[in-house]
Amino acid sequence: MTKTILVVDDNPDVITSLKTGLEDATRVYRILGAENGQKCLQMLKDNIIPDVILLDIMMPQMSGWEVFDRIKENPSWNTIPVIFLTARTDRIAKNAGGFLGDDYIEKPFEIVDLKNRIEIVFHNKASKKTLIVGDVFIRKP
C-alpha cells in the first residue's frame, strides 16, 4: 500500500527533490507538498490525511511549531506522526523535534537516512496503536 507523505516546506525545491528522491526511488510513497503552514492545514481540513507529515520549522508567516500545535489540537489529526525538518542545529530545535514530534531530521539530510526514519515512524505508529489500546484497557477499571 502506497503511503502518503505530506511535505511542508517554504522552499519548493525541497518538496520537488523529496518527490524525486522518495517517490521515484522507492515508488512506495506518494508525496504531497505544501509551501506553508496554512496550505498544510487546509489540506488536512480537506480531509487529505497523510501517513506522515514532514514539517519544516523555520517558515515565514506560520512556523513549524505553530502548525504542529494546530495538528495536535485537532483530535482527528493528532495521531498523524510528524517529523520535523530543520536547518537549526541548536539544542532547542533538536529537543523540540525529538520530544514533541515523532522524530526530526537535520538539513541537509541523506535521502537514505530520511527514509529510514520514516519507516521507523510507521513502525512505531503501528505498535503505538496497540499500545494505546492496551493503555486504555488498563486504565479503564
Binding mask 49-88 for other proteins (x = CB under 8 A): ---------x----------------------------xx
What b/e string do you get for 28-47 counting C-beta neighbours within 10 Å, with b at 16 or more?
Answer: ebebbbbbbbeebbebbeee
Residue 111 C-beta-side C-alpha neighbours within 13 Å? 13
Shortest separation between residue 44's beta carbon and other proteins, angstroms: 24
**90 binds other proteins per the rule CB under 8 A:** yes
Residues 6+ apart with CB under 8 A from 125: 79, 81, 102
Shortest separation between residue 78's beta carbon and other proteins, angstroms: 27
Residues 98-117 close enough to bind other proteins by CB under 8 A: 106-111
Q: How many angstroms separate the CA atoms of 39 and 17, rounded?
A: 19
**Contacts with other proteins, residue ranges (CB under 8 A):** 11, 13-14, 16-18, 20-21, 24-25, 58, 87-91, 94, 106-111
